[in-house]
Amino acid sequence: TWSWLALSRSALDSLFLCVSHFGSVSLCLCLGKAGQFFSSGHTNNWAVLVCTSRFWFNYRHVANTLSVYRSVKRLGIPDSHIVLMLADDMACNHRNPKPATVFSHKNMELNVYGDDVEVDYRGYEVTVENFLRVLTGRLPPSTPRSKRLLSDDRSNVLIYLTGHGGNGFLKFQDSEEISNVELADAFEQMWQKRRYNEVLFIIDTCQGASMYERFYSPNLLALASSQVGEDSLSHQPDLAIGVHLMDRYTFYLLEFLEDIHPASQANMKDLFKVCPKSQCVSTPGHRTDLFQRDPGSVLITDFFGSVRKVEITMESVNLTSPIVLVPHPPTSIFLQKPKQRDWHPPDGFILGLWTLIILIFFKTYGIKHLKHIF
Amino acid sequence: MATAEVEKFRGRYAALSVAAVVIMVGIPLWWKTTETYRAWLPYSQIRELDSLQLQLSMEVEVVFSRGTLTPEQQKKVPLSQIREEQHQVNENTRLKYRYETKYRTATVMEEDALGQPSTEDADLSLHRLSESPCGSVVMYVIPQSSTLLPEGVKVYVGQRRTALLRGWEALGGTLKEVLAVLEPQVEQVLRTMSFSHSDITAALGDRIRGSRLSRESLADSMRAFKSSPGYEITFSLLNPDPQSHSLHWDIEGAVQTYIQPLLDKLAPVANHSVDSQILYYAVLGVKPRFNRELSAYTLSAESLAHVINPIEAKLGSNAASSNPVLNFLLYVPDAHHAPLLIQDQGKREVPSNAFHSPRWGGIMVYNVKDQYGPEAEVPVYINIDMARVMGVFLSQLRLMLGVQPTHLAPGFLLQSPGSAGLTDWELDRLQWTRSVENVAMASTTITSLAQLLNQIGNIVINDNIAQQVSSAVTSLQAAVAELEAGNLAFALQYSREAILASERAFFDPSLLHLLYFPDDQKFAIYIPLFLPMCVPILLSLLKMLGEIRRSRAERRAKKD
């Protein structure tokens, strides 16, 4: 049976090879499934995850964002490609009975905070202006790499927003709003500069569907947790922590994502079915008319994971010249002893200052106090 | 009574004068003080740039050596021809290729050079005789019986800008017929050594997004980095088992010898910065399987895709710049999983033992198991053979930068790049595609910026943005002019300036203010200010109008 299995395996491999080979001389493309290399058209993945509310009772929004962050990291996107914006620090909030943790399931089953969270924009840095600057790339030149969205025309970007919203706006930090027109304009500016190949936009707020109504740039796929006029509800409170831990849509989204692994073949149609009305109470919506591919052929890992395309290197350059020895400057380590400073009497300025102070003192209070000094 | 009349007139004049002041002084003052500062931009020139008409001119020289032309044909030579090709790529992009071909016979010194025993020597002596300018191609047609080219090789492309074409024995007929036979071969050589239409359309990908590219060009466009002012190259050594192996690599010397010449040659195209790091206890995310027949551990082709992500999380990078990063990793497997071999799709061994990922970099697995026996003392001191490693990294680097020619017609033999890492004609190819790409990107950036600024009337346009835009427009026009004239080096330089200026203008942080005010917010701000002021004025004007109408009615009644 062993040899039969090996034979059938090699037959299958040669079948893939036949299907995938297109006569190029020096390349051999590695294909898991024939055509997968070309179907998505992206070479790297980015994620922008934003939680826009502050205050302790909005614990669930931070937990939402952190659970998406956790799934995205688990499926392979590295921290350098994730821009995480959290408007408040729940893990170190003084009302948190379990500090340094943020739970998503009641009875504290799953700590989504973990010990390797990298928050790029924290607290008051999460503003509409910074969010739009990250998306459009108009950041001041001193901004470090970790705070920038350095996507190119072959990047698939996942954008997740959560917080309190309304019909056509999303509230930031309880003090300002971003409107759906501004968001659509930001995406159009990203498209003009080819800063994305495809965008998956997920929003978990009340009346979330209004936020993607005004999109007009191509290659955008949008999901929302509720339609206009509906509220997105929270899932379950935890009696020990005292607040609601997660929102319903993201809770079921997290459950769905926990079943996905990097080689999974689940597609977007499954994602559209997450959290039906019976579980979510609100009606999740999606918008696919601006998206060029059929959602049934889009893998979840195209946006949530980071599956790299690899090619085997067939050639190597023949190098024969000997290595030039770079002269190293002699490295000397200097041990610095604390310098011995000799004591000098106080110089003129100090003397003058103290004389002035003493004179004024005695002028004010009278000369008779001199006797206490001498 | 008189005083009442005077009072009424005074009242009327007061109301009228207040209304006049409000309309003539107040409203313009308010308009001027609330308008956003928008510096002047050359919108008309930008609109011209939207419809891009590129003309690429190049000079070709075809030299006939002794024995390829009959004496009557030789009399007609020297001769020059101009051939033009026009392509309409999409509704606002037009391309024109202009080939200026000069035909001549070889000089005595060139004949001597062609008489050399080996092709490399012939190429070197030909190069010493004359230096061809950047962007041009020289082809030498040698007789069919010549032993200079090996069997089965029709074209030999040298290290500089020359190619040797295997011709034929002196054919009869006029010179025109000979040239007609030669032309397809010349075109084929030009497509390899210089730009081809598919290369240029791929470089214009920004402008013609949505068109169906062929599979090969799609793979090529996804593999090579887009044009950028600079690149960061990072070499990393991964040592998962420092207890068994004490690795030593002379990275500085290797970079200086092998990589730096290539980067120096590429200096007109982009800036490169190189750094290196060593990572200990870094493991691959994939478990290799033990293959009994090879008695080695193997990584199959499917599992390679999952190797990169866990490692990338641990790699350090230069936080200061936002240039794209190329990572080259050298992985030395630990003692328990050595030797580690990479297998391709057909379960065959890969000679270079390396793989690369488009737009990311490459990983090479370096096996050291055969360098020491089981009785060696741990940790074993191992000196890594940098020539072999750099050979693989250099070929991956050439692929990533878009320099490697990927499709060769049969019968072509390319000379290896040698110590420079890059041949002159490969550099020319890159310069052609890069200048076209830069021009396309800069023009789309400028036009979309102008469109954006036009659309959103509330954005402040500072003087420095206007200056950047103007300089981008002038550099673009200069670049297009230089491409038309055939000066490749200047065209590339201008296109680089254009793209830097346009990017700086587009991504200026000040272009974010005052993006969107909904109408109801505007009303909510202005009504409490203007309504209390306007109501008395309007009411008094209406009262005056009412009085005038009444007095006119009275006068008419008095007349009748």
What's the gap in Å between the CA of B321 and the closest CA on chain A?
7
- In percent, how much of chain A has pLDDT > 90? 44
Whole-angstrom distance, CA of residue A114 vs CA of residue B360: 28
Which residues of chain A lie closer than 8 angstroms to B253, CB-CB?
323-326
Instruction: List chain B domain ranges.
Output: 1-35+517-558, 43-49+422-511, 51-200, 230-401
Which residues of chain A lie closer than 8 angstroms to B350, CB-CB?
312-314
Tell me if B333 sits within 8 A of B240, measured CB to CB: yes
What's the gap in Å between the CA of A326 and the closest CA on chain B?
5
Partner B, chain A 116-135, Cβ-Cβ below 8 Å: 129, 132-133
pTM over 0.90: no
* A263 interfacial to chain B (CB closer than 8 Å): yes
Closest chain B residue to the Cα of A307, Cα to Cα: B305
Which residues of chain B lie closer than 8 angstroms to A25, CB-CB?
406-408
Nearest-Å Rg of the Cα atoms of chain B is: 36
Query: Under 8 Å CB-to-CB from A137, ≥6 apart: which residues?
Result: A148, A149, A190, A193, A195, B507
The answer to whether A193 contacts B216, with C-beta atoms less than 8 Å apart, is: no
The yes-or-no verdict on residue A28 having pLDDT over 90 is no
The yes-or-no verdict on residue A131 having pLDDT over 90 is yes
What are the tens digits of pLDDT across the range B190-204?
888 888 888 888 788
Tell me what pLDDT residue B222 has.
Answer: 74
Tell me what pLDDT residue B515 has.
Answer: 56
The answer to whether B344 contacts A152, with C-beta atoms less than 8 Å apart, is: no
What are the tens digits of pLDDT across the range A66-123?
999 999 998 989 888 999 999 999 999 999 998 999 998 877 788 889 888 999 999 9
Tell me what pLDDT residue B412 has.
Answer: 80
Q: Which of A27, A79, A145 sits opposite B322 (nearest CB)?
A: A145
Tell me what pLDDT residue A321 has.
Answer: 66
Tell me what pLDDT residue B218 has.
Answer: 67
Which residues of chain A lie closer than 8 angstroms to B360, CB-CB?
43-44, 308
- What domains are defined for chain A? 44-304 (3.40.50.1460)
Tell me what pLDDT residue A141 has.
Answer: 86
Instruction: Identify the three-state secondary structure at position A189.
Output: helix
Tell me what pLDDT residue A358 has.
Answer: 87
Mean pLDDT in residue range A304-316: 83
Tell me what pLDDT residue A23 has.
Answer: 31
Q: Which of B352, B359, B398 sits opposite A44 (nearest CB)?
A: B359
What's the gap in Å between the CA of B396 and the closest CA on chain A?
7
Question: Parallel, antiparallel, or unpaired for β A44-51 and A155-162?
Answer: parallel
What's the gap in Å between the CA of A263 and the closest CA on chain B?
9
Residues of A marked as catalytic? 164, 206
Whole-angstrom distance, CA of residue B388 vs CA of residue B394: 10
Q: How confident is the model at residue A237 (pLDDT cuts 50, 70, 90)?
A: confident
The answer to whether A138 contacts B509, with C-beta atoms less than 8 Å apart, is: yes
Tell me what pLDDT residue B178 has.
Answer: 79
State which residues of chain B have pLDDT below 50: none
The yes-or-no verdict on residue A332 having pLDDT over 60 is no
Tell me if A269 sits within 8 A of A296, measured CB to CB: yes
Tell me what pLDDT residue B559 has.
Answer: 85
The answer to whether B516 contacts A185, with C-beta atoms less than 8 Å apart, is: yes
Closest chain B residue to the Cα of A145, Cα to Cα: B319
Q: Which of B301, B320, B445 sits opposite A193 (nearest CB)?
A: B445
Q: How confident is the model at residue A20 (pLDDT cuts 50, 70, 90)?
A: very low
Which residues of chain A lie closer than 8 angstroms to B404, CB-CB?
26, 315
Here the contacts of A266-269 (C-beta below 8 Å, separation 24 or greater) are A266/A299, A266/A300, A267/A295, A267/A296, A267/A297, A267/A298, A267/A299, A267/A300, A268/A221, A268/A295, A268/A296, A268/A298, A268/A299, A268/A300, A269/A295, A269/A296
Average pLDDT of the residues of chain A? 82
The yes-or-no verdict on residue A27 having pLDDT over 50 is no
